[in-house]
Amino acid sequence: MLRIALLAILNLSVASTSFSQSKPVIRMGATNTQSFDDNWAFTRYGLQADGSRIEEPQNLESTTLNESSWQKLNLPHDFGITGPFGIELEGGTGKLPWKGIGWYRKHFKIPAADAGKRIFVDFDGAMANAKIWLNGHYVGTWPYGYNSFRMDLTPYLLMGKENVLAVRLDTENWDSRWYPGAGIYRHVWLVKTNPVHVGHWGTSITTPEITDASAKVKMDITVENQSKLPVEATVQTAIFELDQQNKPETKITSFNTSTIKIDAGAAATTNTQATIQHPKRWDIVAPNRYIAQTTLSINGKVVDTYQTPFGIRTLKFTARDGFQLNGRRVEIQGTCNHHDLGALGAAINTSALRRQLSILKDMGCNALRTSHNPPSPELLELADQMGFLVWDEAFDCWKSGKRKLDYNKIYEEWHQKDLEAMVHRDRNHPSVFIWSIGNEVMEQRNVEMTKHLADIIRKVDPTRPVSNGYNDPDGGRESGAVEALDIMGVNYFFSQQAKWDADPRYKSKPTLGSETSSCVSSRGEYFFDNQYKNWQISSYDDAFPGWGCSPDEQFRTNAKYPHLLGEFVWTGFDYLGEPTPYNSDATNLQNFRNDPAKRKELELKLEELRKKNPPSRSSYFGIVDLAGFPKDRYYLYQSQWRPDCPMAHILPHWNWAERIGQVTPVHVYTSGDEAELFLNGKSLGRKTKTPGKDFRLVWDDVKYTPGELKVVCYKKGKTWATDIVKTTGKASKITLSANQPVIKAGGDDLSYITVKITDKNGLMVPRTHNSIKFSVQGPGEIVATDNGDATSFIPFQSHERPAYNGMALVIVKGKKGQKGKFSVKAESPGLGSAVISLESK
Ligand code: GAL
């Protein structure tokens, strides 16, 4: 019975994995939390976008400062993404001018009626070295730009009068191996509470016993007393199921009521528990959730309310039998991703992130690694909503930096605070299944440090395993450092897996591919004599750096060692920066710390690259390009990760006028097990996959003739899926399609419009690069444009962009405060124009 029900759920998930409809985002925290994103003034000192310097004046936090010349803006804001790109800037960080000193100021009033309350500002993340002042008084600092933090404004706040909050950010004193962004690039919140209130991230919900009949739910609630007297508070928490709209539906049950005594200026924690009958599990195929609503009362009067969304699921990690979610074996089909949103830079936008995740979900991706830092809260909320598992990662380095001004500079003082902040914030998310203390850190053999960091996490959350991503797995194992971890994360180097499996010392450690493949390609490029040309990379999906491997090779490894937990591919999406193999950053030399010959070879390559200074500014690793268009590899992963979804994909395109009669290999990705290829109706033979060995079907000797390539795929002898690629006519028009034709008015819901250059029959014409101009009529506006070309220096804000291999992207939104229909026009000389109608509602 249960088996049938579960299968029904699983099938359903294959049939409908589109998440364009947007559920509201819910946050853990005090109910009285308001957005504090609007009406900030911004200016930049130190390094400027054009490379010049403007000396930073003193006292920019002063209440008397006149900031009328500053730029007015709403957050989130990334001051690096407006560029311009500069050839002299580092490719590793996107050739963007993100280094500078950013100042933000905001004037605001808190009604006199709020006198006596505590007033906090919560920053979800500010890059980097944030310092905060209120009314000229220094309030505090949080250097690590990826973490969320709270500032208590109460001591310096003027009730009923004007206040000025000033924030200084300094990215000059920050280094990165990828584009980090710059500025207050995540949301900011104003929180008002009673002096006696649930602490910041003050709730922890765990589910120690779960059966189909019931779940025991435990909750710890920390209450802070910022008043001048001791108090006795009553804590009550009701549990609701969250409905399809993320609203508390019916009340399920309540936690035991508890009474707690808290001294003045102190905090105390109460533990309570409840039982949920017939719990609805959170799962990647049915992401059910609950919400705990906590009420704090003193002498019968409610003083504070707080909400904690959570989920009920079991996680089991085994060394011999992989990973189990809710008792079911689940292969981790994950992708690593950096935090930028392509053309939007690092500024968080929920609708952009939701699009990224739904593209990954449709591919069959079921897990995300937040490489190599804590993510935005929205990423975890969307992972909870959409059913992704999350490897939540703290650091890319510890005490010893990969770059000069890395986290190493602040490690000593901040590592504990940063780790605790990450775990306190994220521990109630059902999606978070593994904590990671690092990625390829220099000290990965250091037993003491590994244990120290893992223990900091375990103290806050003893329920989830702790891991670390090793590019020196042998060193990690031999040194014993891995013994301090619950899971061994291996980046790339699986050649020794058989040796580790045979070694009794390592037999009990569950092992995961924390980073795999690193295949590189450029969408729509196919080269026949060389994989690399014009700073682009051929899309036959067989190019990768020396430490990486093809996706197929990794699938072979996974099939050979089925007891491994699965993999996180480097990467799901292309990202800004790190344009390997055209990246001259030396950090990847560390991947060859145990192989001097390969290290030398790479060193020489890097030296050459430095001389040539390639124009590449974003990565080629993505399975999906920077604009969100799937590359061929997308279908290779889909064929493996969604075996029940009938699909077939042919590459390359079939427009090779200059190759008539020349051998032009054809590859097919399919979830079937056999396929027959036809060129202009003539069979080129039937090929079969050998299980565990072949993951694509290859016709290596096809001679190019224009016309139609068709593949018919079979599964277990039955017709399963087909794909057709045709030689197109000449480029003659533009077609437009929107991922969301109707968007929410208010300013941050986005519609992504895919632009294709087609022939008169509507077939996309590959290898076209016509320039397209965009304009909007009505209450909408263009946010950014892109085309996925990793070498383009056209600013993302430009309203004109060439197609890259037949495609371009324009991102639009509704104008703030306005509703109604608007239209987007795309025009190009010789192709006429196309118009698409959208609505902001
Ligand atoms: C890994 C590293 C990643 C990225 C990747 C590129 O060694 O952890 O951050 O640099 O290589 O292949």
Give Cβ neighbours of residue 658 (< 8 Å, ≥ 6 apart): none
**CB of residue 471 inside a 6 A radius of ligand 1:** yes
303 vs 295: CA distance, rounded Å = 8
Ligand 1 atom with minimal separation from the 471 CA? 7
Contact yes or no for 751/812 (Cβ under 8 A): yes
Q: Closest ligand 1 atom, CA of 548?
A: 12
Identify the pLDDT of residue 495.
Answer: 86
What type of residue is 465? P
Q: Rounded mean pLDDT of the chain? A: 95
If you write DSSP's letter for every residue of 647-687 in order, what string do you get? Answer: -EEEES-S--GGGTTSB--EEEEESSSEEEEEETTEEEEEE
Contact between 439 and 459 (Cβ < 8 Å): no
Is the pLDDT assigned to residue 14 strictly greater than 80? no
Backbone region of residue 136 per phi and psi (left: phi > 0; alpha: psi in -120 to 50; beta: other values): left
Instruction: Give the CATH superfamily of 733-840.
Output: Immunoglobulins (2.60.40.10)
CA distance 236 to 627: 47
What is the average pLDDT across 688-708? 97
Q: Categorize the per-residue pLDDT at 7 as very low, low, confident or very high, splitting at 50, 70 and 90.
A: very low
Q: Which of 67, 440, 525, 839 is catalytic?
A: 440
Please give the Cα distance from 718 to 708 (Å, whole number).
23
In this structure, the strands spanning 488-491 and 466-470 are parallel
Determine contact, residues 496/462, Cβ cutoff 8 Å. Answer: no
**Domain at 40-73+78-183: CATH architecture:** Sandwich (2.60)
Residue-level pLDDT at 21: 56
**Distance in angstroms (rounded) separating the CA atoms of residues 180 and 174:** 9
Contact criterion met (CB below 8 Å) for 783 and 813: yes
Dmax (CA) for the chain in angstroms is: 89
Q: Give yes or no for residue 592 CB within 6 A of ligand 1.
A: no
* Residue 769, token pair as written in the block: 């690069």
**Average pLDDT rounded to a whole number, residues 147-152:** 98
Output DSSP code: residue 173.
T
Say if residues 61 and 549 touch (Cβ distance below 8 Å): no
What are the structure tokens assigned to 231, written together? 């108090």
108-to-78, 157, 163 alpha-carbon distances in Å = 22, 10, 5
Asked whether 491 lines ligand 1 (CB < 6 A), one says yes
- Architecture in CATH for domain 2-8+195-310: Sandwich (2.60)
β 742-743/832-840 pair status:
parallel
Fold of 315-612: TIM Barrel (3.20.20)
Q: Which residues contact 340 (CB under 8 A, 6 or more apart)?
A: 178, 179, 181, 346, 575, 576
Q: Count Cβ atoms below 10 Å from residue 21 Cβ, excluding itself.
A: 9
Percent of the chain predicted with pLDDT > 90 = 94
Lowest-confidence pick of 30-44, 181-195, 592-606, 703-717: 592-606
Query: What whole-number distance in Å separates Cα of residue 17 and Cα of residue 243?
Result: 18
Find the distance separating the first CA and the last CA of the chain, reported in whole Å.
44
What is the CA(362)–ligand 1 centre distance, in A? Answer: 25
Residues of the chain with CATH 3.20.20.80: 315-612
Give the pLDDT band (50/70/90) at residue 233. very high
Ligand 1 within 6 A of CB of 545: yes
Q: Which amino acid is at 333?
A: Q
Q: What is the pLDDT of residue 401?
A: 95
**5, pLDDT greater than 50:** no
Q: Please identify which of the residues 172, 224, 393, 515 carries the catalytic annotation.
A: 515
**Which 3-state string (H, E, C) describes 426-494?**
HCCCCCEEEEEEEECCCCCCCHHHHHHHHHHHHHHCCCCCEEEEECCHHHHHHHCHHHHCCCEEEECCC
* Section 10-23 average pLDDT: 46
Mean pLDDT of 316-324: 96
Residue where the block lists tokens 């009314």: 135
pLDDT for 588 equals 87
Domain with CATH 2.60.40.10 in the chain: 2-8+195-310, 632-652+656-726, 733-840
pLDDT at 440 over 90: yes
Neighbours of 3 (CB within 10 A): 7
Residue 179, pLDDT > 90, answer yes
650 Cα to the center of ligand 1, angstroms: 29
Domain with CATH 2.60.120.260 in the chain: 40-73+78-183
- How far CA 240 is from CA of 24, 255, 490, in Å, comes to 17, 11, 40
Closest by Cα among 476, 433, 438, 477 to 454: 438
Ligand 1 pocket check for 669: Cβ under 6 Å: no
Instruction: Give nearest CA residue, ligand 1 atom 6.
Output: 518
Distance 633 CA to ligand 1 centre (A): 19
Whether the per-residue pLDDT at 19 is higher than 80: the answer is no
What integer pLDDT is reported at residue 53 of this predicted model?
98
Residue 123 has pLDDT above 70, yes or no: yes
Ligand 1 pocket mutation pick from 515, 567, 583, 598 by most atoms within 8 angstroms of CB: 515
pLDDT digits (tens, 9 = 90+) for 664-679: 999 999 999 999 999 9
The four Cα atoms 204, 381, 625, 79 give a dihedral, to 10 degrees, of -90
> Is beta strand 432-439 parallel, antiparallel or unpaired with respect to 466-470?
parallel
The Cα 838–Cα 814 span in angstroms is 9
Give Rg (Cα) of the chain.
Answer: 27
What is the Cα–Cα distance from 779 to 792, expressed in whole angstroms? 29
Mean pLDDT, residues 249-268: 95
pLDDT of residue 505: 87
Which CATH code fits 632-652+656-726?
A: 2.60.40.10
- Residue 433, C-beta contacts closer than 8 angstroms, at least 6 positions apart: 315, 325, 367, 389, 390, 391, 464
Can 440 be counted among the known catalytic residues? yes
Please give the structure tokens belonging to residue 580. Answer: 């390997």
44-55 mean pLDDT: 98
The finding on whether 580 has its CB within 6 A of some atom of ligand 1 is: yes
Q: What is the pTM of this model?
A: 0.97
Q: Which of 372, 440, 472, 571 to mutate to test the pocket of ligand 1 (most atoms within 8 A of CB)?
A: 440
Residue 443 among the catalytic residues: no
Contacts of 7 (CB under 8 A, 6+ apart): none
User: In whole angstroms, what is the distance from residue 809 CA to residue 738 CA?
Assistant: 10
Could you tell me how many helices (H) and strands (E) the chain has, helices first? 10, 49
813 strand-pairing partners: 750, 781
pLDDT of residue 264 exceeding 90, the answer is: yes
Structure tokens at 109: 């009033």
Number of Cβ atoms within 10 Å of the Cβ of 657: 9
DSSP state of 4: H
C-alpha of residue 316 to centroid of ligand 1, in Å: 28
The answer, yes or no, to whether any atom of ligand 1 lies below 6 A from the CB of 518, is yes
Interatomic CA distance for residues 74 and 148, integer angstroms = 19
Kindly give the distance from the C-alpha atom of residue 580 to the centroid of ligand 1, in angstroms, as a whole number.
9
CA-to-CA dists, residue 772 to 740, 775, 780, 804, angstroms: 21, 10, 19, 11
The CB of 440 under 6 Å from ligand 1? The reply is yes
Over residues 60-78, mean pLDDT: 97
Distance CA 723, CA 712 (A): 7
Between the alpha carbon of residue 35 and those of residues 74, 75, 121, 187, 189, the distances in Å are 11, 10, 10, 8, 5
Residue 16 has pLDDT above 90, yes or no: no
DSSP code for 287 = B
585 CB less than 6 Å from ligand 1?
Answer: no
**Going by C-beta distance under 8 Å and a sequence separation of 6 or more, which residues neighbour residue 651?**
526, 539, 540, 632, 666, 667, 668, 669
DSSP-assigned letters across all residues of 714-782? EETTEEEEEEEEE------EEEEEES-SEE-TTTT-EEEEEEEEE-TTS-B-TT---EEEEEEESSEEE
Distance CA 353, CA 109 (A): 32
Task: Determine the Cα–Cα distance for residues 144 and 689; give it in Å rounded to an integer.
Answer: 48
Average pLDDT over residues 441-454: 98
pLDDT in tens, 721-758: 999 999 999 999 999 999 999 999 988 999 999 999 99
Q: How far is the CA of 471 from the centre of ligand 1 (A)?
A: 9
